[in-house]
Amino acid sequence: MAEITISITDGEERRFPVGVTVAEVLAELLSGKARKRTVAARVNDVLVDLGVRLNGDSRLEPVSMGSDEALVILRHSAAHVMAQAVLEIFGPEVKVAIGPAIADGFYYDFERGTPFTPDDFERIEAKVGEIVAAALPFERKEVSVAEAMRTFEELGQGYKVELLQEMEHETVSLYRQGNFVDLCRGPHVPNTGWVKAFKLVKLAGAYWRGDEKNIMLQRIYGTAFYDPKDLKAYLHNLEEAKKRDHRKLGKELELFSIQDQVGPGLILWQPKGAQMRRLIEDYWKEEHYRKGYELLYTPHIARRELWQTSGHLDFYGENMFSPMEIDEVSYQLKPMNCPFHINIYKTKMRSYREFPIRWAELGTVYRYERTGVLHGLMRVRGFTQDDAHIFCRPDQLEGEIFNILDLNLHILKTFGFADYDIYLSTRPEKYVGSDQHWEQATEALKLALEKKGLAYELDPGEGVFYGPKIDIKIKDVLGRSWQCSTIQVDFNLPERFEITYVGEDGKDHQPIMIHRALMGSLERFFGVLIEHYAGAFPLWLAPIQAVIVNITDNQHDYAVKVHEELRAAGLRVEKDLRNEKLNYKIREAQLQKIPYMVIIGDKEVEAGQVTVRLRDGKNLPAMTPAELVATIRAECEAGRGW
């Protein structure tokens, strides 16, 4: 019998008969325990099912539980199982669209006349349980596109037919488990018995192919894990995340709102949110002045020509708001601040001596996003970037990147984010600028990261077309990742706007331009802050730091006096002198997550003191109002790091 050579991960080679399955190879090569943890395999860099037959020399790597790939495979398989369950319960009038694995689980889109309800979830989960118990194998079959189309036409599954109509290959793979068949590339776990730790999570509407002109489908989200313990932890986190949802807290704490009459994706900062924004902006500006930045203000609109020169109309046009005519000239809202800063650069001749130039702006930009993707403060149509542009010489690049990283991490830490992932993205396939410039800039970014002692992941080819970049994703208290800071080198705009400086040699040179945003956008960062702290902000950021509460009307005058004294000292303090029970007033202050509750009864009036209860229920010893001011100030300074 003909034989083939299979080489495995550590370089070992073994001979097997032609047509051996991956599972059979692994049975010979792996210990029992390792084999049980193997979900699928990578054969010559292609992910395949364990049941696949090998017909030529191959390189084989097992994919084991615990890897991200294995989790994707499980969730993908779970999506099939969920679709099978839905069809078995609700019948063939339900049409199935697509069902991919996503970051935390998977979803499947269905078309059905009646909306699904939470009660349906229980039924679907019970049915999934039956399918899991039956341990049905996932059977793969390669067929021609025409045959696949016939199959789905017979099943009355038009979405699959539509997908097939656009396929360019000649053959496709179908996967069948039980009586359910799906169009899928695979791979999957060997049988449905693997989908044990499974849970439906939520329901949402989703347009077919994400296009608002298409029909709205019902999307059921679910998740699956290999280990039930992981599922439990995930569901716990999910509950926690719901409690922390910034849209819910934003309303309860009266921080911000989004109103239909104003427009989707446009944020109204209410007094308490606006107070926090002022504190964030003041802190941000102060730190930037300290680090040698100058601040700019630029308009919200500019002539269309500017966006032509910058290239935004060509490369970013569909994200821009439509033009408006003023005195027969076309203007457009800005999607970015950079061209304005470049115009300020061009107001005079620049010399190498004034470099580096560091210009920062809290610049409000407008970008078109489809209504379907808008989400609270996280995805909006108008937002303020904490933007800056640095113009420098090539030999200053590394130092400037180092300084930015320094400021960046310092600011993130002050806001409570000390855990992050850093990515360095290098030259993509399509790019502008010379290879030499790209190499030098990429090297400078690397060196700066290394000097700062920061671990990073390389994202080869993921840079923007105009230069390499560093991205920082922060992790919140629930371990969720948020894209936040970005530092980008740009070889494009200096060229397009033909900006120069006079070098030491007396000749004109093109400066290096760096774009960077540390918080990203104030709106989004605010959303992350709300969820990270669950609305219980540190004292220096809290919109209201203290509330004065009297026990009875007897202490009214003294309470008013204390309130005035604290306000005069610059504290953000409110008073609750309503004729209500003390416990009721305290409960309300706790719901508002006010850090200090300043309680005044007869004893306090007599002693000229106050009693302080913290929002976590602890009490501070009685103190004078002046002592309270000092306590709060000290805690704020420590929080802000000044």
Query: Hey, which residues are catalytic here?
Result: 338, 367, 385, 387, 389, 469, 515
Nearest to 522 by CA among 380, 404, 419: 380
What are the residues facing 108 on neighbouring strands? Answer: 220
Nearer to Zn ion, 184 or 280 (CB): 184
In whole angstroms, how close is the CB of 13 to Zn ion at the nearest point?
32
In whole angstroms, how close is the CB of 255 to Zn ion at the nearest point?
28
Q: Which of 42, 76, 379, 575 binds Zn ion (CB under 5 A)?
A: 76
Distance CA 201, CA 105 (A): 9
In whole angstroms, how close is the CB of 186 to Zn ion at the nearest point?
6
Taking contact as CB under 5 A, which single stretch among the options 11-19, 73-81, 268-276, 347-355 is the one that binds Zn ion?
A: 73-81
Q: Which of 184, 499, 559, 571 binds Zn ion (CB under 5 A)?
A: 184
Distance CA 395, CA 391 (A): 12
Nearer to Zn ion, 467 or 595 (CB): 467
In whole angstroms, how close is the CB of 289 to Zn ion at the nearest point?
20
Work out whether strand 58-64 and strand 3-8 pair parallel, antiparallel, or are unpaired.
Answer: parallel
Work out whether strand 382-392 and strand 512-521 pair parallel, antiparallel, or are unpaired.
Answer: antiparallel
Written as six digits, the tokens of 188 are 């999957």
In whole angstroms, how close is the CB of 175 to Zn ion at the nearest point?
6
Nearer to Zn ion, 72 or 448 (CB): 72
Q: Which of 140, 288, 515, 575 binds Zn ion (CB under 5 A)?
A: 515
CA distances from residue 250 to 178, 258, 281, 376 in whole angstroms, order as listed: 47, 10, 19, 9
Taking contact as CB under 5 A, which single stretch among the options 33-41, 75-83, 84-92, 572-580 is the one that binds Zn ion?
A: 75-83
CA distances from residue 613 to 180, 253, 590, 609 in whole angstroms, order as listed: 61, 20, 10, 13
Distance CA 489, CA 481 (A): 24
Taking contact as CB under 5 A, which single stretch among the options 123-131, 229-237, 323-331, 514-522 is the one that binds Zn ion?
A: 514-522
- The torsion of the CA quartet 465, 469, 474, 479, rounded to 10 degrees, works out to 70
Distance CA 142, CA 151 (A): 13
Taking contact as CB under 5 A, which single stretch among the options 25-33, 43-51, 181-189, 400-408 is the one that binds Zn ion?
A: 181-189
Helix intervals (H) in 332-467 = 338-345, 397-414, 435-451
Nearer to Zn ion, 76 or 563 (CB): 76
Nearer to Zn ion, 173 or 500 (CB): 173
Site string for Zn ion, 135-174 (x = CB under 5 A): ----------------------------------------
Taking contact as CB under 5 A, which single stretch among the options 74-82, 273-281, 284-292, 356-364 is the one that binds Zn ion?
A: 74-82
Phi, psi (deg, nearest 5) at residue 185: -80, -25
In whole angstroms, how close is the CB of 488 to Zn ion at the nearest point?
8
Distance CA 156, CA 152 (A): 6
Handedness of CA 395, 400, 482, 474 (dihedral sign): positive
Q: What is the DSSP string of 474-527?
A: EE-TT--EEEEEEEEEESSHHHHTT--EE-TTSSEEPPEEEEEEEEEEHHHHHH
Nearest to 363 by CA among 281, 289, 287: 281
Taking contact as CB under 5 A, which single stretch among the options 38-46, 180-188, 233-241, 463-471 is the one that binds Zn ion?
A: 180-188
In whole angstroms, how close is the CB of 464 to Zn ion at the nearest point?
11
Nearer to Zn ion, 76 or 446 (CB): 76
Written as six digits, the tokens of 121 are 């979830």
Helix intervals (H) in 346-477 = 397-414, 435-451
Written as six digits, the tokens of 573 are 């303090």
In whole angstroms, how close is the CB of 337 to Zn ion at the nearest point?
6
Site string for Zn ion, 548-567 (x = CB under 5 A): --------------------
In whole angstroms, how close is the CB of 304 to Zn ion at the nearest point?
19
Site string for Zn ion, 325-364 (x = CB under 5 A): -------------x--------------------------
Distance CA 142, CA 172 (A): 6
Nearer to Zn ion, 13 or 142 (CB): 142
Taking contact as CB under 5 A, which single stretch among the options 117-125, 128-136, 179-187, 282-290 is the one that binds Zn ion?
A: 179-187
Size of the site for Zn ion (CB under 5 A): 4
Do residues 461 and 428 lie in contact, with contact meaning Cβ atoms separated by under 8 Å? yes
**Exposed e or buried b per residue across 607-619, where buried means at least 16 C-beta atoms within 10 angstroms of its C-beta:** eebbbbbebeeee
- Near Zn ion in 416-455, by CB under 5 A: none
Do residues 159 and 194 lie in contact, with contact meaning Cβ atoms separated by under 8 Å? no
Nearer to Zn ion, 337 or 592 (CB): 337
Nearest to 408 by CA among 463, 448, 440: 448
Distance CA 78, CA 106 (A): 8
Distance CA 558, CA 81 (A): 68
Nearer to Zn ion, 182 or 574 (CB): 182
In whole angstroms, how close is the CB of 631 to Zn ion at the nearest point?
42
Do residues 417 and 461 lie in contact, with contact meaning Cβ atoms separated by under 8 Å? no
Range 167-173 contact pairs with CB under 8 angstroms and sequence separation of 24 or more: 169/145, 170/144, 170/145, 171/142, 171/143, 171/144, 171/145, 172/142, 172/143, 172/144, 172/145, 172/148, 173/140, 173/141, 173/142, 173/143
Nearer to Zn ion, 298 or 545 (CB): 298
Q: Assess 312 for contact with Zn ion (CB under 5 A).
A: no
Nearer to Zn ion, 195 or 338 (CB): 338
In whole angstroms, how close is the CB of 495 to Zn ion at the nearest point?
15
Nearer to Zn ion, 518 or 612 (CB): 518
In whole angstroms, how close is the CB of 564 to Zn ion at the nearest point?
46
Written as six digits, the tokens of 192 are 């449905």
Written as six digits, the tokens of 109 are 């889109």
In the complex, the residues that contact Zn ion under the rule CB under 5 A are 76, 184, 338, 515
